[in-house]
Amino acid sequence: MNKRIMEFPVCFFYLKWKQKMKQSIISGSGSYIPTEICTNEAFAGQEFYAGGKKLTIPSTDIVRKFKQITGIDERRYVTNELTASAIGSIAAEAAIQDSGVNREEIDQLIVAHNFGDVLHNNIQSVGVPSLANIIKNKLGISNPACIAYDILFGCPGWLQGVIQADAFFKAGIAKKALIIGTETLSRVVDVHDRDSMIFSDGAGAVVMEYQESANGRGILAASVQTHSLQEVNYINMGPSDYPGSDERVRYIKMNGRKVYEYALSHVPAAMKDCIDKSGVHISEIKKIFIHQANEKMDEAIIERLYQMYDIPAPANIMPMSIQWLGNSSVATVPTLYDLVRRNQVEGHTLAAGDVILFASVGAGMNINAVCYRY
């Protein structure tokens, strides 16, 4: 028999199998943007301290330099009655509605955060029950097979939830997942610390499903790293810089220079590892959704990534929201993705088949990246 005829059925069935290959697909997204706007001008009269000493630089100059470095003009804070679980449930409800899934068929409800529910004017964090349990309750999901749990992974927590859901899908443990990133950082900042101007509140969520994908839509590859030796305390909790403050009360603290150097040294390499594992060329990447930590840092990361491929970074590759939303930690990436999907970030859109890259870096220090075909 002709060899080419013999090979035809094998090739035909291989192609049919490839067409029916299952992928982890984002079927819906949602976000919650707080209503309280805090502009840079609100900090112009603030007294800033470092190492227990008042900074002699005028506050107006500190704020001006802050804008030049971070790109932040304003940030969003929640109103007094809201909590991380409350805004997380709003974003989750929007994602469920967008996806059209039956909420009782969700197998995994994963919530990324860092500080639990911090009530207004309260120094304690509520972590029992978990935010995932609270959000499941708010969503009215009665199915006991919907497993609800939290992830503490620094700012990359939401993306780590996406990676974890993908692993559960491939292991045959789940078929549908709801992944939420929610934070109210305005309640854990030291107002006398310059870094307090960076942080904000917000929530973002996606529904993921394990489905047959004829066009290759879905997660293509992931990369994750943890560096916890000398890097472990680059972002930590510490007392206020204001002299005489109660040292028992802890606030989020950051060694900005060390974080910047760390990010430029390690994040581009993790992103490259993810792209290379995906099998796509970097020229195929249409958008990069990177954690909204610092405008100049994010731009430098993108430049260094493309330098690794000896090509210039293309214009308009990186949508940003930090200018008006600030850094809401685990919520920045899912919120930005949701805004772009809804054509709410000027100059940025997504089309079917676009290859996009998610990436994040944060406390721990942790890094992750996911390559995804939209």
CA torsion 148-149-154-160 (nearest 10°) is: -60
Residue type, 338: D
User: Which long-range contacts does 131-139 make (Cβ < 8 Å, 24+ apart)?
Assistant: 131/84, 131/85, 131/88, 131/182, 132/180, 134/85, 134/89, 135/85, 135/88, 135/89, 135/92, 135/109, 135/111, 135/180, 136/109, 138/85, 138/86, 138/89, 139/89, 139/92, 139/93, 139/96, 139/103
Distances from the Cα of 50 to the Cα of 54, 59, 187, 195, 246, angstroms: 7, 13, 20, 11, 16
Helices of type H across the chain:
3-19, 59-70, 84-99, 131-139, 157-170, 256-278, 295-307, 322-325, 332-341
Q: How many CA atoms lie within 13 A of 186 on its CB side?
A: 23
Cis peptide before 365 (omega within 30 of 0): yes
Regions in the chain scoring below 70 on pLDDT: 1-20
Distances from the Cα of 192 to the Cα of 53, 84, 209, angstroms: 10, 23, 44
Distances from the Cα of 14 to the Cα of 1, 2, 63, 85, 215, angstroms: 21, 19, 60, 46, 15
Contact 88, 201 (CB under 8 A): no
> What confidence score (pLDDT) does residue 64 get?
93
Distances from the Cα of 373 to the Cα of 44, 108, 217, angstroms: 44, 22, 5
> What confidence score (pLDDT) does residue 213 get?
81
> What confidence score (pLDDT) does residue 6 get?
44
Tokens standing for 27? 């079927």
> What confidence score (pLDDT) does residue 123 get?
78
Instruction: Give which of 129, 134, 131 is closest to 116, Cα–Cα.
Output: 131
Domains of the chain (ranges; CATH) run 22-212 (3.40.47.10), 218-373 (3.40.47.10)
Question: pLDDT for 55-69, tens place per residue?
Answer: 999 999 999 999 999
> What confidence score (pLDDT) does residue 20 get?
65
> What confidence score (pLDDT) does residue 10 get?
42
Residue type, 304: R
CA torsion 163-225-270-324 (nearest 10°) is: 70
Which residue bears the tokens 């809201």? Answer: 82
